[in-house]
Amino acid sequence: MTTGTHRLHWATIPFQALVFVLVFLAVPGVVLVEFGWGPVLMLSLTVAFGAAAYALAAWWNVTFGLRDDHLVVHTGVFRRLSREIPLSRLQAVDVVRPLLMQVMGLAELRVELAGGDSSEIRLRYLGRGTAERLRAVLLAHAAGLSGRTPEAPEWPFYKLPFGLLLGALAFRLPVLGAFVLLLLLLVTGLAFGELGVLGGAVPLLLGLMRGFLGPLLRYTDFYASLSPDGLRLRYGVFQARMQTVPPGRVQAVRIVEPLLWRSLGVVRVEANVAGYVGERQMDSSTLLPVVPRRLAFALVNEVFPGTDLAGAVLHPAKPGGLPGAALGVDDRVFVTRSGLLCRVIDVVPHARTQVLRMTVGPVERLRGTATVEADTPPGPVRARATGRDVAEARRVIDGVARRAHTARSTTAGPERWATRGDLFG
C-alpha cells in the first residue's frame, strides 16, 4: 500500500446499484405490480441505471491516501467533504467481512479515532488484501514507524474450541431457564389443546436466538493473538471480523464468571476500549468470550504490564455488606469483586483512572460504610466497591489518587508506541 491516492474496489458500484434496485422492488415496486409487470420492469431498469450512475459518481469521488502521518479521505458527490486525520489519534482498526462480501472477496475497513461517536471512518468496500495491507500501514504509522515497515508478527494466545463455546453458551441459567420454559409451553399447548399458550413461546424463542444463537455465530472460529501492534482478535461466520486493539487502548478490564461456568473453570473477558463509543463500544467490548480463568488473568497481565492479577489481595467488605464484595489496591491497579451468582472482577490501572469517588448514602451512613468507585472511559467496566469502612474508603481514595498521579506522570501515552518499550509487544 503506497502513500498515493486510492479508490474503493470497483465492485462497490454494482453492489450499491443492486441494493438500490432491491429496496425499490421491496417497497414501491410491490404497489406498482397492480399496474402490470411492464411498468415495473421499465421503472426497475430506470432505477438501476440511475443508481449505477450515482454509484459510479460516488465511487469516483471517494478517495483516500496517506500524507505524512495523516489519513486523508475525500467523499461526496454534490457536497465535497475532506477529512485529514492524524494517525496519533488512531484507537483501533477493524477489518469486517459480511457473508456476501466474503463471497465477493471484499472487506470493510473501520478506523476508530479519538473524538466521539462521529469520529469513525469506514472504507467500504476494499479488496480483502488491500484492506489488510492498509490496516498494517495505518498501525505502522500510528506506532511511529514507516509505512513500508513489514507487517508486525504475531504470537498465538488462544483459540476457542467450538465445543467449549457451544457448551458454555448453553450452560447458563438464563438460557437453560428459557429452554425449559419453552419446552413446558410447547408440551402444555399440545397436551391440552390450548394453542394460545404457544404465544408465549415466541418471545422465549427470540430470547434464545439473541442469547444463544447470536453469540454462537458471532464467536465461532474465535482466535486471539498478541503482536507488537496490539491485541488481534479474529472471529465470526456470517460476518468475519479482524479486530486490532493497539497497545495502551484498553482502559479497564472485567472478568465475568457466571455461576454454572465455575464448574467448567471458564470466564468471559470484557474491556473498556478507547475509541469505541456508544453502540460500537458494546459491540466491541468482549476480548475473550469464553476462556480458561488462568488465560484471562494472563491477558490482563499482558495488556497492563507489571500487573499480577492472580496474586492480588482482595479484602472483603464489612460484615453485612453485599455477598462476595471485595476490594484490592496495589501499585499498579484498582481491583473490585462483586456478585454472588455471577462473580465479576473489575480491574482499572491507576494510569487510566479518570475520576475517584466516595459516596455515603443514607443507609450506609447508619451502618458506617461507604462506596468507592474508579471511573474510566465508557464501557462495561465499572469498578465499584461497596461496604467499605468510611476511614478505609478515605485511605483508599487518597492512596489511589497519589498512585494515579504518579502513574500518569511516569507513563507516556499510547501514541508512537513502537518507539518506546513501555507498552506490551
pLDDT for residue 419: 61
Phi, psi at 274, each rounded to 5°: -60, 140
Sheet holding 326-329, edge to edge: 286-292, 266-273, 250-258, 342-349, 333-338, 326-329, 315-316
CA distances from 162 to 15, 349, 368, 405 (A): 33, 33, 49, 44
CB 414 within 8 A of CB 248: yes
Task: Encode 379-406: b = buried (16+ Cβ within 10 Å), e = exposed.
Answer: bbbbbbbbbbeeebbeebbeebeebbee
Close Cβ partners of 46 (under 8 Å, ≥ 6 residues apart): none
Number of residues that this document lists for the chain: 425
Highest mean pLDDT among 83-92, 107-116, 137-146, 327-336: 327-336
> Does residue 125 have a cis bond before it (omega within 30 degrees)?
yes
- The beta-carbon contacts of 241-244 under 8 Å, at least 24 apart in sequence, are 241/94, 241/95, 241/96, 241/97, 242/94, 242/95, 242/96, 242/132, 242/135, 243/92, 243/94, 243/284, 244/92, 244/93, 244/94, 244/135, 244/139
Close Cβ partners of 169 (under 8 Å, ≥ 6 residues apart): 175, 211, 212, 215, 216, 290
Query: Where does the pLDDT of residue 416 fall: very low under 50, low under 70, confident under 90, or very high at 90 and above?
Result: low
The tens digit of pLDDT for each residue in 167-205 reads 999 999 889 988 888 888 888 877 777 766 667 777 888
| Averaged pLDDT for residues 359-368 | 89
CB 285 within 8 A of CB 333: no
| Averaged pLDDT for residues 1-30 | 78
Q: How far apart are CA 59 and CA 201, in angstroms?
A: 47
Q: How far apart are CA 169 and CA 67, in angstroms?
A: 46
SS3 339: coil
Range in 3-17, 20-34, 244-258, 347-361 the model is least confident about: 20-34
Range in 13-22, 147-156, 287-296, 304-313 the model is least confident about: 147-156
Close Cβ partners of 119 (under 8 Å, ≥ 6 residues apart): 89, 112, 113, 275
pLDDT for residue 424: 46
pLDDT for residue 184: 85
Query: What average pLDDT is seen over the chain?
Result: 85
The set of cell numbers assigned to 163 is 465445543
| Averaged pLDDT for residues 16-26 | 81
